[in-house]
Chains A and B, each alone.
Chain A
Amino acid sequence: MTELLSYVLPGVPYGCVYALMAAGLVLTYRASGVFNLAFGAQAYVSALLFSVVVQEGAGTWWAFVLSVVVAGPVMGLLLDGVVFRYTRGAPPLVRLVPALGLMIAIPSVAQMLAGTSTRVPASFVLRPNQVYFHLAGSAVSGEEIGTTLVAFASVAALAALLRSRRLGLRMRAVVESPRMAELHGVRSDAVGSLAWSISSLFAALAGVLLAPIYAQLNASNFTALLVAAIAAAAVGGLESLPLTLVGGIAIGVAQQVIGGYLPSGTILSSGLRPAFPFLVLAVLLVGRRSLRHDGRLDDPLAGCDPPMASLRPAPRMAEVALGAKAFTVALGAAVVAIAVAVVPGNWEFTFTQAAVLSIVMLSITLLTGLAGQISLGQAVFAGAGAFTAGQLAAHFGLPVLAGVLAGGLVAGMLGAIVALPTLSLGGISVGLLTLSFALLADNVLFLYSWSGNGATGLSVPRPKLGGLSFAGTGAFFGLSLVILGIVSGAVVLVRGGTVGRQLAAIRGSETGAASIGIDVARLRIVAFTLSAVIAGVGGALYASLEQSVSPNDFNYQFSLVYVVVVAAVGVYSVAGAIEAALAYTVLLQLVGSLPGRYSSLVALVFGLVALGYVRHPEGVVTYAQSWVLDRAEQLARFLQRDRASGAEAG
């Protein structure tokens, strides 16, 4: 009993911090319908700011005021005013992509400003290290007492605020329809801003409270915090604050108990502790009815907005279309020619990387662009393909090209398995479920010697085909172009065929699609499977290109980055995926020559571009292209008219 208590008690403060984050998440969700995935990043920024200010010599209270009381609400107001105000009532993907962009961009800004040097977190509550009393044999420190008290008080205050008629009622009105609320005299924007600043205050508080337990402040610690908080919020059904508090504490305690009782030294015990919240979240998402759907209510006044621009490219004048096609082909040929002939070796490698990455990106084109499903776990499928090829080559001497195929198949099976529990879920829940799957893979699945082999990883040879060897990067480049061509062709074929049209139907409306006799569940499985096959093939090729891979090459951050990059550039076309991969790898290579602290510049660029997704869901490049083509068309019309009138006069 005392042993159990000695594990339970230290878990309570952790759980309280989870609950604090979760309460903030619930607040923004209830006030604006946005699932703010940038929350962990906000906590990270405040924690970083706190420790920087303390190290500059200011007192902890000053640091607290600056990093929590000021920075928290300011961040919230910025996010609301610049981005999320415009996503109200938008489809899940539109609400998720900017949040993902911020989740990636915010830490990279913070890192650039604060540098990559390790910051020692500072603590501020009571006298942190003093033991105030003993409970059931374990020492209770000032930090633990303080954290618990602060969390309870904050959640209680928030609950009281939400129960009040003024704020609670208005918030529910605004989340259903900001315009209808305005017709009732409610300042919808002000209500939204208030909710965002309070919730961001909670994120900042959670970040500063939790920072002391990490030896080093880095963004992924705070992603883990975010997922634990999402799980706690899920316990409360994204609604009840008391249940959220209970959920947070339960998760915090359970993590400690697992750590205490499982035999130490195994992957399961070291992995399960961090992965526990992901498992809880996955189970809750599938099990709790209230979480399945996006909770999006149709705005009865949506008709006030002008219609959205069509995602289908507008038909062009024949001359302009021909010119554009010729230009694209010429540009592609030039890029390839330059890559092969002129550029130095490392650039040749970069272009090869781009070709291989294009294949992985195409998996998102198929799943998100065609079928409208969101997966935040595509890197897991790529990893599955890579590790399959590596293991088969190492243990059975299977040729790598066969391994690439096998990798695609294994990834496809994994995709089908992952698709099954998502079938009854709405868009954002699918995203969260696949994200917890990705984190589970990082922490447990990929660490075994039969899979990703942990930090050591696997070595994968370059392929051979008969007498042909692709050991050289140039030859490998050719090979990956061929495979990219095949995969692109396959995506185009799928898009043009019956399946593609059915996928387009479920992207528009699943209910509508079902009502005209489309088997939505089957199609969703098909889409996930095909997409996973493509990702697996890409991942296996990537492994062979790099010649060695480890789970780190496919961690959850890549899953997020891939989605953000493709969505930013253009998720609805094959060209978009290729351009996304090219832009990403080239930028990465360019940034590689800058000092280390700028290494996250690429993430920042794409994260910010992804914010434009709200206005231009077709992607920036596609938007720019159609802008240029519009101008070209105007010019062509003008010239034609000119010629016509000239002919008349003559």
Chain B
Amino acid sequence: MSSAPLLELSGVDLSYGPYRALFGVSFTVSARAAVALVGSNGSGKTSVARVVSGLVRARAGSIRFDGRDVTRWPAWRIARAGLVHVPEGRSVLGSLTVEENLLLGLEGLAGRHGGAGALERAYSMFPRLSDRRRQLAGTLSGGEQRMLALGRAVAVPEQLLVVDELSLGLSPTVVDEIFSGLREILASGTSLLVIEQHVERVLALAERVVVLAHGRVAGEGPAGELAGVLSSLRPSPGRPEPPTSAAGGGLA
């Protein structure tokens, strides 16, 4: 059991209607480990997160989580099995208050965990939230919203946390706060799958890196070894983009 990976994607294909986004993506995340998922814009990182959490369904291939085949599971079932996905962009329910956002997660996750203690864990990691318990989440600033979304993962220590570009548009100090939150979550025993454009920052956090390009895994390995691959993937002004696949025409 302990040797089997916590999350395992094998040969996952995904399309949005006629547009194909992922082509045979395979990689694994071990228990208590952090994996960084990097790649240029439109390479399919968000799509991987969505397919893992059950928001969209894979067209082919399989996804195993915690020893079970979750490929066809609905999102709520995967969430209850212990996977928290903090999606890209707005990641809280704006019409609920801060506290209600946290409670919703607790209730949905079958109430295995003590309610009051869970809230306090979230508030002590992000004190700014505790001053705003009754504020509508939609009126929080962008950074506070990310903190709230992370707070959910802190409140209930789950098995795997998938975060998608948490640092987008945030000031450096807030990014620091969020990354130290991530580090704490990792230390508490939760595995991480981190999608991030701040490659240096995420390499300091994650031991393994998966590189996506054009919907395919272009490289995978320990964080230290992949620096070369990463720099070759970064599009530079002089070099033309590699040709896009003809299938569906939507993929870049």
Residues on A lying within 8 angstroms of B by beta carbon are 165-166, 169-170, 172-173, 175-177, 179-188, 297, 300-301, 303-307
Contacts and interface: CB of A to CB of B under 8 A. Distances in A.
A184 B79 contact: yes
Contacts of B56: 304
Given A165-B103, A170-B104, A179-B55, A187 B76 contact: yes
Nearest to A297: B95
B125 to A, nearest CB: 19
B54 to A, nearest CB: 8
A180 B138 CA distance: 14
A183 B107 contact: no
Interface centre among A170, A182, A297 (most CB of B within 10 A): A182
Nearest to A179: B55
Give the residue among A165, A176, A187, A304 with the most B Cβ atoms within 10 A.
Answer: A304
Given A169-B96, A184-B79, A184-B104, 10 more contacts: A170-B107, A172-B96, A176-B95, A179-B55, A183-B85, A184-B108, A185-B107, A187-B76, A297-B95, A303-B46
Contacts of B92: 180
A301 B108 CA distance: 19
Q: Which of A175, A186, A187 has the most CB of B within 10 A?
A: A186
Contact of B19 (A303, A304, A306): A306
B16 A307 contact: yes
Interface residues of B, number: 36
Contacts of B91: 180, 300
Contact of A179 (B75, B96, B110): B75
A183 B53 contact: yes
Contact of B75 (A176, A183, A306): A183
Interface string B75-90: 1100110001101011
A184 B90 CA distance: 14
A175 B95 CA distance: 10
B219 interface: no
B104 A304 contact: no
Top 4 A-B pairs, shortest CB-CB distance: A185-B108, A306-B17, A182-B75, A300-B90
Interface string B14-51: 01111100000000000000000000000000100010
Contact of A182 (B74, B89, B109): B74
Given A170-B104, A183-B55, A185-B80, A177 B93 contact: yes
Contacts of A306: 15-19
B129 to A, nearest CB: 16
Residue in A173, A180, A183, A300 whose Cβ sees the most chain B Cβ within 10 Å: A183
A173 B96 contact: yes
Nearest to A298: B90
Nearest to A180: B93
Given A169-B96, A169-B100, A297-B95, A182 B79 contact: yes
B11 interface: no
Contacts of B152: 184
A297 B94 contact: yes
B209 to A, nearest CB: 25
A300 B90 CA distance: 6
Contact of A300 (B80, B84, B87, B109): B87
A558 to B, nearest CB: 37
A185 B46 CA distance: 20
A169 B107 contact: yes
Interface in B151-168: 152
Contact of B107 (A165, A182, A307): A165
Given A184-B108, A185-B76, A306-B17, A172 B95 contact: yes
Nearest to B18: A306
A279 B170 CA distance: 51
Contact of A301 (B55, B95, B96, B103): B55
Contacts of A169: 96, 100, 103-104, 107
A185 B103 contact: no
B105 interface: yes
6 contacts: A169-B104, A173-B96, A184-B79, A184-B109, A184-B152, A303-B46
A165 B54 CA distance: 25
A166 B115 CA distance: 14
A186 B100 CA distance: 13
B87 A183 contact: yes
Contacts of B76: 181-182, 185-188
Contacts of A166: 107
B107 A304 contact: no
Contact of A186 (B15, B16, B108): B108
Contacts of B100: 169, 172
A175 to B, nearest CB: 8
Contacts of A173: 93, 96, 104
Contacts of A165: 103, 107
Contacts of B17: 306-307
B103 to A, nearest CB: 7
B137 to A, nearest CB: 10
Contacts of A307: 16-17, 19
Contacts of B87: 180, 183, 300-301
B41 to A, nearest CB: 14
A305 B21 CA distance: 13
Nearest to A191: B76
